[in-house]
Structure 1
């Protein structure tokens, strides 16, 4: 059996839905964190099914191990150590590290 090629329109729709689900997760977190976690899990499933990457601005907002929506100070701890940002999920204890990026000043 041949696989059908994925439609580019489907990938565009997937990106739109991922963005919408992360907006909803931010909106619902103060009311019910479980709804936010469900939105993140759905966004990840859409990304995996359509084989699209979750954008970087959303990729740092969830735990890759437990799919929890991360809010610094509430269920995530953010520290800067040795030139890296260390984000610790307080739900499962998973740590994520990424380099500190310096902003360029405009003259």
Structure 2
């Protein structure tokens, strides 16, 4: 039974480390984008090793093809077309499409 508890604890620690790495990536980006890309790469490796999903808010902050930390206007283009948000990585050209979520307020 100790093995299962240990695995759950490892996953919790992995989620915390992923969150810290994305915070660091955001802080590093203005001065050194290569460091922020490395933070994203490490966060993805931690997630894969411990089989932890990366939260949606973090998943949309990096390019799935080149692992670049995306910042709108610098290395990322955002467009809305036919009910979808189209995010284009300006480094590798990869496009990610997400449905537009309408607000419930009317």
TM-score w.r.t. length of structure 2: 0.93
Name stretches of at least 5 consecutive residues in structure 2 with no aligned partner: none
CA distance in 1, matches of 2:42, 2:80: 30
Quote how far apart the aligned CAs of 1:43 are: 0.1
Equivalent position of 1:18 in the other structure: 18
Pairwise mapping of residues 14-93 of structure 1 onto structure 2 (< 5 A)? 14-93=14-93
Q: CA RMSD in A?
A: 1.3
Quote how far apart the aligned CAs of 1:103 are: 1.6
Equivalent position of 1:100 in the other structure: 100
CA distance in 2, matches of 1:52, 1:7: 11
CA distance in 2, matches of 1:46, 1:14: 6
Quote how far apart the aligned CAs of 1:70 are: 0.2
SS in 2 for 1:7: helix
TM-score w.r.t. length of structure 1: 0.92
Instruction: Name the count of aligned residue pairs.
Output: 103
CA distance in 2, matches of 1:50, 1:92: 28
Name stretches of at least 5 consecutive residues in structure 1 with no aligned partner: none
